[in-house]
Structure 1
Amino acid sequence: MITFANRLQTVQEYYFSKKLREVRQLAAEGNPIINMGIGSPDLQPPKSVLKAIQDSLTETGAHKYQSYQGLPEFRNAIANFYKNKYNVAVNPDSEILPLMGSKEGIMHISLAFLNEGDKVLIPNPGYPTYSSVTNLIGASPVFYNLDAGNEWQPNFEELEKLDLSNVKLMWINYPHMPTGARGLEETYKKLIAFGKKHHIIIVNDNPYSFILNEKPRSILQVEGAKDIALELNSLSKSFNMAGWRVGKLIGNSTFLKEVLKVKTQMDSGMFYGIQKGAIKALELENSWFSDQDKIYRKRQQLIFELADILECNYDKNATGMFVWAKLPNGKSSEGMVDDLLYNKNIFVAPGSIFGSQGEGYIRFSLCIPETQIKEAITRF
């Protein structure tokens, strides 16, 4: 009899993997499903980026294995991007590690720093992969609550009351998914001080900072941040390149060397052409982001109309590519999601999948054409 690894008992299949099968089945049966549950950009990458990857295909060595640390010109482009957009200086030779998507980085970082029995601070609500990977590693999640009353920022008084003796990592995610809350300068400063005090590595997952956000921030802007912090970033959302799987890990060179030990066991380098396209994306002017924002802003206004119909409350100043909406009292997240799916053929994400603090909320994606949002509105 074949038995499976015990670690699989600590996790379930990712919610969207399972639920989207149901959504696809309903669509296959002829139901006019409008999917506004997933944050997968539907817009095209920049034309110059597509041309760069096309032109690269015939270059000498384009189809060979590539360096685990990426092309030097790719790392230089990342360093220039951080300097120009965040005013953060990073060494392209030692403080940048390209990744095949930042989701990969969550696993790499966890494998590099965590032993069985270690603890990890994880936001509630937050990205479910933080806790799933923690469980797979054999470490223990310790959830810290975020709430609207505190602008979805960590409550440091509550954090200090926890037993932090075995905590090795703390995941943060600003601009925050799913709520769209901005990362505040004061929050970043407190996080760096907290990490240094308790010898906890602070990891900021930062893929949304250029979507509906006039003041992009990096935790590495804080003085001394590199001593204790790492930052994950990605081209998936900002440049409509989710399927390309281009991410990067920025920070302390000593930390990155350890993460590289893990990465070199799990892939054989990023495809040359994808790196060439990524370089071109990172060199784009700010007008690219403002043009994208015009599209997302129009969609956001329509989602607000839909949320109003459902008698939801929401933050009009939130950032990122989602609208986080609080349901009327007494309505459950998954109950509302199923009601919309089965009765209106509209799929949205239940807030409960992001943690107990997400119960009573639903999340709309802005990765859907205006025409479909308008169609959803007419169904009411």
Structure 2
Amino acid sequence: MVMSRRLAKIPDSYFGKTMGRKIEHGPLPLINMAVGIPDGETPKGIVDEFADALRLPENQKYGAFHGKETFKQAIVDFYQRQYGVELDKDDEVCILYGTKNGLVGLPNCIVNPEDYVLLPDPGYTDYLAGVLFADAHPYALELEPPNYQPDWDKVPEDILKQTKLIYLTYPNNPTGSTVTQEVFDEAIQKFKGTQTKIVHDFAYAAFGFDHKNPSILQSKDGKDVAIEVYSLSKGYNMSGYRVGFALGNKDVIQALKKYHTHHHAGMFGALQDAATFALNNYDDFLEQQSEVFRKRRDRFTAILDEGAIPYEPMTGGIFLWLKTPESYTGEQFVEFLLQDQSILVAPGIPFGDNGNHYVRVSLALDDEQLDEAAKRLKSLSPMYKK
């Protein structure tokens, strides 16, 4: 096989090998609840802006590696407006061609071989690849139900001393848990003045049901310790555009920018124009997105509750973290649901060992499909009775 030893040791991406594959299911119409993106269309105004920008001659040529001034200013203005965070558009902002590129590339920018990196368990699957590419040591940051918040006292002190980077993500993918500002405050003060930096994956920022999701950069001294990675994919229904950005700690951002000058040649100008328009004009749309998924959560869980189907509290994001019946692993339950109920969900184990007895259920479906899926799951109530 023509593959480097480094690449060979990295597990296949779960979603890379499953997205688009042919699904064999039971006799009922298939309901796909494994999708990780909102189901709505990109707002028409953003699409029109993109279409117009395609025709501009300056967008048909190479652009500045680190982005248009207008896009960077829109990012700075957005964070000031939404979170009261002041940023320097040149020193504290890095434009990303998809946030995954930044999240996976980050360890290569600031972590040395043999350093430790803490990864949330459960947490997004692809963080691990970046750590292994950097020849660093991943270590599980155990997150426990029902709130899935970090408990720093449970990480051995000798591991913390060797930790260079910590990944956090709230609203959490896959659990749908959120945090208050105090959780970020504690993390920032814990690691201020140490070698450890924090990256907060804020992909589902728009979706907070009980309170607005806080930014880690709002915490006192936040920029001394952390960067935040924000995506336009979910909040603006722009997943296919692959637009995001990292912002915060100047040293980390500069390292990430240097890395991207070698791996990416600058974002397509028309994409930047569309993203600029979105950030400047669609704050209300973000609130609407959150309300859509709050109502879906309420509707879906009300039916599950009728059958006493166990799940963890979903206070944000677009996923429900569903417990499996006692005799099933997540992977076994995925196959059972597919063949018995014609429902496709994601197993919990790719998100970490703590997901072994869970499945991730996406609510990115219309009401009719959600109601039908909830009723099918409710019918499984006897499987949960001891």
TM-score normalized by structure 2? Answer: 0.91
Q: Report % sequence identity.
A: 32
**Aligned alpha-carbon RMSD (Å):** 2.1
Q: Of residues 354, 367, 370 in structure 1, which corresponds to 2:364?
A: 367
- How far residue 152 of structure 1 moved from its aligned partner, in angstroms, is 0.8
Match of 2:300 in 1: 303
Q: Unpaired runs of 5+ in structure 1?
A: none
**1:129-183 residue CA offsets vs partner (Å, 9 max, x unmatched):** 111221122111011100015x211112112534233221111111211112212
CA–CA separation in structure 2 for the residues paired with 1:107 and 1:348: 24
Structure 1 residue 274 corresponds to structure 2 residue 264: no
Residues 214-235 of structure 1: per-residue CA shift (max 9 Å, x gap)? 4131111111111121111110
Relative to 1, partners in 2 of residues 1:175 and 1:294: Cα closer, same or farther, differing over 3 Å? closer
Kindly provide the amino acid, as one letter, of the partner of residue 201 in structure 1: K
* TM superposition shift of 1:14: 1.5
Aligned residue for 1:73, secondary structure, equals: helix
Structure 2 residue corresponding to 1:42, chosen from 39, 47, 64:
39
Offset from partner CA, 1:81-128 (integer Å, 9 cap, x none): 100101101111221111011100013311111222221011111111
Higher deviation after alignment, 229-238 or 51-60: 51-60
Aligned to 2:18: 19
CA distance in structure 2 between the aligned counterparts of 1:304 and 1:237, rounded to whole angstroms: 22
Residue 65 of structure 2, aligned match among 68, 73, 76: 68
SS in 1 for 2:24: helix
SS in 2 for 1:338: helix
Q: Give the TM-score normalised by structure 1.
A: 0.92
Distance of aligned partners of 1:378 and 1:228 in 2 relative to their CA distance in 1, 3 Å threshold: closer
1:210 is aligned to 2:209: no
User: Equivalences for 1:1-380 in 2 at 5 Å?
Assistant: 3-22=2-21, 24-26=22-24, 32-149=29-146, 151-159=147-155, 161-213=157-209, 214-305=211-302, 307-308=304-305, 311-377=308-374, 379=376, 380=379
Aligned-residue offset at 1:19? 3.1
Tell me the distance in 1 between the aligned counterparts of 2:193 and 2:171.
Answer: 24
Structure 2 unaligned blocks of 5 or more: 380-386
How far did 1:308 drift? Answer: 4.1
The alpha-carbon distance between structure 1 residues 140 and 92, as it changes in their structure 2 partners (threshold 3 A), is same
Shift of residue 377 of structure 1? 4.2
Change (3 A) 1:309 1:362: farther
Counterpart amino acid of residue 78 in structure 1: I
> Is the contact made by 1:303 and 1:364 (CA closer than 8 Å) also made in structure 2?
no
Q: CA deviation at 1:261?
A: 1.4
Corresponding letter in the other structure for 2:215? S
Give deviations 1:251-285, integer Å, cap 9, x for gaps: 12222221111101111111111111111111235
Q: Given that residues 123 and 143 in structure 1 are in contact (C-alpha distance below 8 angstroms), is that contact kept between their aligned partners in structure 2?
A: yes
Counterpart of 1:314 in 2: which secondary structure? Answer: coil
Instruction: Describe the shift of the 1:139–1:372 C-alpha distance in structure 2 as closer, same or farther (beyond 3 A).
Output: same
Give the Cα separation in 1 of the matches to 2:219 and 2:295: 34
Q: Alpha-carbon deviation of 1:33?
A: 2.2
What CA distance in whole angstroms lies between the structure 1 residues aligned with 2:63 and 2:367?
Answer: 40
C-alpha distance in 2 between matches for 1:306 and 1:243: 32
Q: Determine the C-alpha separation between the residues in 2 that align with 1:266 and 1:31.
A: 45
SS class of match (1:177): coil
Cα pair 2:176 2:313 within 8 Å, conserved: no
| Amino acid in structure 1 at the alignment position of 2:297 | Q
For residues 289-335 of structure 1, the C-alpha deviation after alignment (integer angstroms, 9 at most, x for no partner) is: 23223322333234325644774323455101111122343332111
